[in-house]
Amino acid sequence: MENENMPIKPVATNYGVYYALFSIAIIVILYATNMQKNLVIGTVNILGTVAVFVLAIIEYKKTNNNYLTLGQAIKVGLGTAAIGGILIALYTYIHYTYLQPEFIEAMREVQIVQLQKQADNMTSEDADLAMSMLDTFSSPGFISTVSLIGSLIFGLIVSLIAGLVLKSE
């Protein structure tokens, strides 16, 4: 008997927490090793994140009598992304506000240097606008918001692909 009404919330909640813990661990590893970017850690992050979403969809399919529609896969992926994304955004805000505020300042300084290189081609109003935008875009709140949006977009893409592969015929 096909059961198309299994609740998505338990699976999305569990895997959303796994996703958040995995991503927070990556942030902590980068912080502890004093690296801002690392190809190996970035690759592990992407593959691990994809694995969490795929495992969530597989888990849902198993609990749903091995039945899965594309819509269900997308709902599971987006639910996982939303729960994990909110937790990651909260941690990101705390991390860059209290634990590593120097990262924000360093990022801001790099952007100021780039802005100064382009200043010759800008009016003073444009330069003032660019500086105010720089303040907004280099804030922990903005970074956290972009993190959440990125989680949702990534979750949608992965769950769409996984859903197409894993859906029941």
Residue 135 lies inside a defined structural domain of this protein: no
Residue 138 lies inside a defined structural domain of this protein: no
Cα(65)–Cα(106) distance, rounded to whole angstroms?
51
CB 56 within 8 A of CB 15: yes
Percentage of the chain modeled with pLDDT above 70: 98
Residue 89 lies inside a defined structural domain of this protein: yes
Residue 42 lies inside a defined structural domain of this protein: yes
Position 45 scores a pLDDT of: 94
**pLDDT interval class at 1 (50, 70, 90):** very low
**H-state helical runs in the chain:** 9-32, 39-63, 70-94, 101-118, 124-137, 140-166
- Domain enclosing residue 33, as ranges: 9-98+143-166
**pLDDT interval class at 142 (50, 70, 90):** very high
Number of domains in the chain: 1
Residue 151 lies inside a defined structural domain of this protein: yes
CB 49 within 8 A of CB 22: yes
Q: Tell me: the pLDDT tens digits for 66-113?
A: 999 999 999 999 999 999 999 999 999 999 999 988 888 888 888 888
Residue 54 lies inside a defined structural domain of this protein: yes
Residue 120 lies inside a defined structural domain of this protein: no
In this prediction the pTM is: 0.86
Position 4 scores a pLDDT of: 57
CB 96 within 8 A of CB 130: no
Contacts within 8 Å (CB) and 24+ apart, 135-138: 135/108, 137/111, 138/104, 138/107, 138/108, 138/111
Residue 152 lies inside a defined structural domain of this protein: yes
